[in-house]
């Protein structure tokens, strides 16, 4: 009887461990995005070529499923471009417009090139 009780407890513990393992597995997305900025004092990867329309320089694979392009326009005097990874809260083609910045988002590897967010204007 003691062996049966011990065996039942062992089976229950194995089942519990297996259930916890399934629950704790997290599915993470990853996307490869170009990551740069041509703004000299930027905290991002500085690359003076970042503003090129068909930029194909620094890239990184990061968690999330969205890349971005940011166009900075400070009164027409100075314009910078940043490219990078956003996470996953945006849809393909989404845009955000602010007084001095325009963001556009895309959701395929290396998609944040070949655009100046024209769809957002």
Q: What is the CATH number of the domain that holds 49?
A: 2.10.60.10
Longest dimension (CA), the chain: 85
Q: Count structural domains, the chain.
A: 1
Residue 11 lies in a domain: no
DSSP letter for each residue of 34-101: E-EE--TT-SS-B-TTTTSTT----EEEEESSEEEEEEEEETTTEEEEEEEEEESS--TT-EEEETTE
Q: Classify strands 36-37 and 95-98 as parallel, antiparallel or unpaired.
A: unpaired
Residue with token string 């166009």: 71
In a domain, 16, yes or no: no
105: containing domain:
30-120
What's the confidence (pLDDT) of residue 3?
53
Q: How confident is the model over 79-98, as pLDDT tens digits? A: 899 999 988 778 898 999 99
Residue at 24 is within a domain = no
Domain-located, residue 22: no
Give pLDDT tens digits for 21-74.
Answer: 333 334 468 999 999 999 888 776 899 999 999 999 989 898 889 999 999 987
């Amino acid at each position: 009887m003691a062996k049966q009780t011990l065996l039942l407890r062992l089976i229950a513990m194995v089942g519990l461990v297996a259930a916890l393992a399934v629950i704790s597995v997290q599915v993470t997305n990853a996307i490869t995005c170009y990551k740069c900025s041509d703004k000299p004092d930027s905290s991002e990867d500085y690359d003076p070529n970042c503003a090129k329309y068909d930029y194909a320089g620094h890239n990184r694979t990061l968690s999330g499923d969205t890349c971005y392009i940011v166009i900075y326009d400070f009164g027409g005097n100075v314009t910078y471009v940043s490219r990078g990874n956003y996470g996953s809260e945006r849809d393909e083609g989404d845009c955000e417009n602010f007084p001095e910045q325009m963001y556009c988002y895309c959701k395929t590897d290396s998609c944040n090139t070949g655009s100046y967010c024209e769809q957002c204007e």
